[in-house]
Structure 1
């Protein structure tokens, strides 16, 4: 339970310290391998081992609950046994002296937590158990401490809680994202959804619509594809609707799942209307065509 420090500077591990805080208990650790620091505890452990374990050594039990019931009966009898050198018993000592001093239990039981240190990723999320939870984007690349329970994920930086999420279960790769954690330029994508991108793509052409649909379904979390869809559709402003539709058509002839990057790369290599007009004004010879317009084969100029 002590993870660092000597006799004069003892530090409890986070889980044990948190449990003590929850129950309002002060932990005063004994020294390692110093049984005289806690003689009553050490003596009672030995007595219980002898009196209970030895007494049941020849008995058979067929379930854990059956064994626990037998141990409880022996323990109650052990606590009720009179002391040999003073009046009373362990039970009467607890009832008369210790019980009146006990504080009431908290309203909720202590929930066991696991602590770990992680780094906030470039997309302002941390990964815990295959799920992703957001932290304020200002903490990107910083190490944070994460408190993990069955119900919640809490993120701490310099002992200050900076985020809290309900713990996710089920399919790996799910996101829990709080809008306030996102940079302003990312928040604008919240007003978009897959249907809006598909309708926009339909106005350009059927090939563009097919590519956008393929991008939207390429990842488990649709929102992760919105930036690629936005970039693809804005290529129409830079190169024209016709060239984008043609580039999507060509990309679909190679693969059913083209990417934004492949289409963006191919567009500057395509023919412009100015190049086509120049080509039409000259004799249509192979030599002239090769000089005027770079042909593309396998992504390389001929």
Structure 2
């Protein structure tokens, strides 16, 4: 995520989601100091949220970070105390030596006494646990169940496993589950869309595991969320906060829900034979409704009633239209002024040749983004034929692209009827568009050299001679043969010794 995109996220979370600086820093994987200074810069520049629609990334950067402004802010050096703790378990390890190694890679960092004090403070927390408190409507936890379900093809008898997606609200424990074929990105995104539709509203935070469909780069400090997953969350006004790697307590709510789903739904359905995803999801939904309506053992009400009373009023309303699945990819524009998607070239403006752009791919469109702006959009289709917008071409390229035999015939009629007749006789013999285009340009060159009247007469003469080649046409014009009388001479009407007559040959 670039610096300016991160600034936009900070402003959105601060003004629209009303999150504090700590929550924003955790969501975006940056320090609280960076969040504070970003908000200060925005306030000094007179910017709030939403930003003006015509304010692109370059203009926003110029307003927030002017060239003559203050020097760049230095981020605090992060120390991985888990790694330090593991090193301290080695024989002969000392904090003094580890501090010296830290200073070699981070000159100017904290002194040795601070290093020891911070490590000891961190070590005291190893055996303590923080109770998680879930505000109403704030968090939804998502994960996949370890157990899968078998679906049998009725025609072939082939078995195929289906993955079980589980989502649960933090405050009420309302649970959602469904089956789909894989944990790939399209199924992952579609499951989230159906989950928020099942809830009838959207939470403010999504806590997910570190699967590739959700997190591109796993990191305790600065995880990189998949661009499509982030885009889907923004559509519903949600924030994605991945759980830390190998820290299941970060998403203990859904870990417990997976166990409940496994015991009360998947185990109940273990002996049934399913022949399709629809049939399996129908059975899951019936048991899921019973689970959510089942009374709590120690509390009043059920998951459904607690959701209606606690979570639902605090959640965000769903947008008017559901999310349209889109994938984001980086691409570099080639010298042919195009980018390749599934082996098919799509044209882009010429000034972007050699530059890196971002592609937003949906089932029906290919959008090209540069500098936070959409520069062009194509209709997505199969095959390998280039998709080209005429405005992306030079005048000569555009003329060739738009040329057709009908255009050539219309031009021929403006020169003369014999020229059009010549084209009518010649164009059916052309097998490729390029040859027809070059032949038409050859006729236009003859017009410039010899004039329209002579060319029209020459075309008539060539048709009488039964030739349609440009070389013959040029020969007729060069030798001025277009004006010769083509009538056949009459036979002699007198007798002579040298004239044999037609009867001589029979």
Length-normalised TM-score, structure 2: 0.42
Structure 1 residue 65 corresponds to structure 2 residue 278 = yes
- Structure 1 window deviating more from structure 2 (121-130 vs 160-169): it is 121-130
**Distance in 1 between the 2:436 and 2:346 partners?**
19
- 1:23-72 per-position Cα deviation (integer Å, ceiling 9, x unaligned): 11111110122101111111111121122111121223344333222211
8 Å CA contact 1:198–1:213 kept in 2: the answer is no
1:83–1:123 distance in 2 versus 1, CA, 3 Å: same
Cα distance change on mapping 1:87 and 1:134 into 2, 3 Å: same
Q: Is the 8 A contact 2:425 2:468 kept in 1?
A: no
Matches within 5 A, 1:43-62: 43-62=256-275
- Distance in 1 of aligned mates of 2:323 and 2:370: 23
Q: C-alpha separation between the residues in 2 aligned to 1:236 and 1:194?
A: 18
User: Could you tell me which residue of structure 2 aligns to residue 102 of structure 1?
Assistant: 315
Residue 227 of structure 1 and its aligned partner are, at CA, apart by 6.1
- Structure 2 residue ranges without an equivalent (≥5): 1-213, 480-506
**CA shift in 2, pair 1:181/1:85, >3 Å:** same
Distance across 2 between alignment mates of 1:213 and 1:143:
44
Kept after mapping to 2: 8 A contact 1:197/1:212: no
Aligned to 2:371: 158
Q: Deviations over 1:111-151 (max 9, x none)?
A: 11123334434443434345543321222343422212122
Equivalences for 1:1-302 in 2 at 5 Å? 1-4=214-217, 6-129=219-342, 131-168=344-381, 172-173=384-385, 175-177=387-389, 179-187=390-398, 193-198=404-409, 217-219=431-433, 228-229=438-439, 231-236=441-446
CA separation in 1, counterparts of 2:332 and 2:306?
51
Comparing both structures, which one devotes a greater share of its residues to helix? 1
The worse-fitting range, judged by mean Cα deviation, of 16-25 and 187-196 is 187-196
Gaps of 5+ in 1: 253-262, 265-269, 275-302
Structure number with the bigger relative contact order (C-alpha 8 A, sep ≥ 6) is 2
**SS of equivalent residue, structure 1 residue 162:** strand
What TM-score, normalized to structure 1? 0.65
Contact 1:151 1:166 in 2 (8 A): yes
Change (3 A) 1:35 1:96: same
- Bigger Cα Rg: 2
User: How many pairs does the alignment contain?
Assistant: 252
Q: Secondary structure at the match of 2:255?
A: helix
Deviation per residue, 1:180-209 (Å, 9 max, x gap):
333345456687542232455686697776
Inter-CA distance 208–227: structure 2 relative to 1 (3 Å threshold): closer
* Distance apart, 1:100 and its partner CA: 0.6
Q: Deviations over 1:207-236 (max 9, x none)?
A: 776665555x525xxxx7786456434553
